[in-house]
Amino acid sequence: MLENSQETKTDLSELGEFGLIDHLTKSFAPKLPSTKKAIGDDAAVIDFEDNQCVVTTDLLVEGVHFDLAYMPLKHLGYKAVMVNASDVYAMNGKATQITVSIAVSNRFPVEALEELYSGIELAANIYNIDVVGGDTTSSTSGLVISITALGTAKSEEIVYRNGAKPNDLLVVSGDLGAAYMGLQVLEREKQVFKANPNSQPDLDQYSYLIERQLKPEARKDIPPLLKELGVKPTSMIDISDGLSSEVIHLCKSSKTGVNLFEEKIPLDPAVISVCEEFNIDSTTIALSGGEDYELLFTISQDDFDKIKANPNLTIIGHMTEENEGMHLITRANTKIPLIARGWNSMEKEEEEK
Give the binding site for ligand ADP (CB under 6 A): 21, 24-25, 39-42, 100, 102, 131, 133-136
Nearer to ligand ADP, 41 or 263 (CB): 41
Q: Which does 42 bind (CB under 5 to 8 A by kind): Mg ion, ligand ADP, none?
A: ligand ADP
Q: Is 303 annotated as a binding residue?
A: no
Distance CA 253, CA 251 (A): 6
CB-based contact 158:93 (threshold 8 Å): yes
**Binding site partner of 139, from Mg ion, ligand ADP, none, Cβ cut-off 5-8 A by kind:** none
Give the residue with the Cβ less far from Mg ion, 138 or 199. 138
Nearest Cα to Cα of residue 318 among 328, 306, 308, 309? 328
Q: Would the annotation count 75 as a binding residue?
A: no
Between 70 and 78, CB nearer to ligand ADP: 78
Checking DSSP bridges between strand 326-329 and strand 256-261, what pairing results, if any? Answer: parallel
Q: Is 161 annotated as a binding residue?
A: yes
**What number of other Cβ atoms are within 10 A of residue 109's Cβ?**
17
**What is the binding site for Mg ion (CB under 5 A)?**
135
Radius of gyration of the chain (CA): 21
* From ligand ADP, Mg ion, none, interface partner of 40 (C-beta below 5 to 8 A by class): ligand ADP
CB of 17 or CB of 221, closer to ligand ADP:
17
For residue 221, the minimal CB distance to Mg ion (Å) is: 35
Parallel, antiparallel or unpaired: strands 130-138 and 94-104 = parallel
Percentages (nearest 5) of helix, strand, coil residues in the chain: 40, 25, 35
Residue 161 CA to residue 159 CA, distance in Å, equals 7
Least separation in angstroms between residue 320's CB and Mg ion is: 50
Distance of alpha carbon 105 from alpha carbon 10, whole angstroms: 13
**Helical (H) or strand (E) element with 318:** strand 313-321
Distance, in Å, from the CA atom of 134 to the CA atom of 113, rounded to the nearest integer, reads 14
Question: Residue 134's binding partner, choosing from ligand ADP, Mg ion, none, with beta-carbon cut-off 5 to 8 A by kind?
Answer: ligand ADP
10 assigned binding-site residue: no
Residue 216 partner contact from Mg ion, ligand ADP, none using kind-dependent CB cut-offs of 5 to 8 Å: none
Smallest distance from the beta carbon of 44 to ligand ADP, in angstroms? 7
Which element (helix H / strand E) includes 220? none
Is 11 annotated among the ligand-binding residues?
A: no
Which residues define the annotated binding site for ATP?
117, 134-135, 161, 240
Binding residue positions for Mg(2+):
42, 56-58, 87, 135, 238, 241
